[in-house]
Amino acid sequence: MLSLRRRDIVCQEAVELVTDYLEGTLSRRSRRRFEAHLRACPNCSAYLEQIRMTIDLSGTIEPEDLSPEARAELTELYRRWRSE
């Protein structure tokens, strides 16, 4: 069994800090501890990469195409609004 220094964070705590870390809202001391944990823990590093990839992929979601009907309806509405 690993002996943990009192102030070290464990993996289960580290995963809860990921968003605050990426948002840059951790205190300097927490950030240092978090980064120290990452350096020593390939599992949490892999987890962080998974979160980063999730964020990147969310940014690649393309808007679905509008159906021709929806487009026609909105064009019709636009003309009406403009003439009101």
Partner 1 sequence: MDTDLELLARLRDGDEEAFVTLVTRYQHPMLRLARSYVPSRAVAEEAVQDTWMGVVKGIERFEGRSTFKTWLFRILVNRARTAGSREQRHAPLEPQRAVDPIRFDANGQWADPVDRWAEDSENHLEAAAWGPVLRSGLEDLPARQRQVVVLRDVEGLSSDEVCAVLEISAGNQRILLHRGRTRLREILEAQIAKA
Q: Which is nearer to partner 1, 13 or 35 (CB)?
A: 13
Nearest to 14 by CA among 50, 55, 52, 43: 43
How many chain residues bind partner 1 (CB under 8 A)? 47
Buried b (16+ CB within 10 A) or exposed e, 56-70: eeeeeeeeeeeeeee
- In the complex, the smallest distance separating the C-beta of residue 50 from partner 1, rounded to whole angstroms, is 4
Nearest to 19 by CA among 8, 29, 10, 30: 30
Q: Which is nearer to partner 1, 35 or 54 (CB)?
A: 54
In sequence order, the 6+-apart residues with CB closer than 8 A to the CB of 65 are: none
50 binds partner 1 (CB under 8 A): yes
25 binds partner 1 (CB under 8 A): yes
**Residues at the site binding partner 1, with contacts judged by CB under 8 A:** 1-2, 4, 10-13, 15-16, 18-20, 23, 25, 42-44, 46-47, 49-66, 70-71, 74-75, 77-79, 81-82, 84
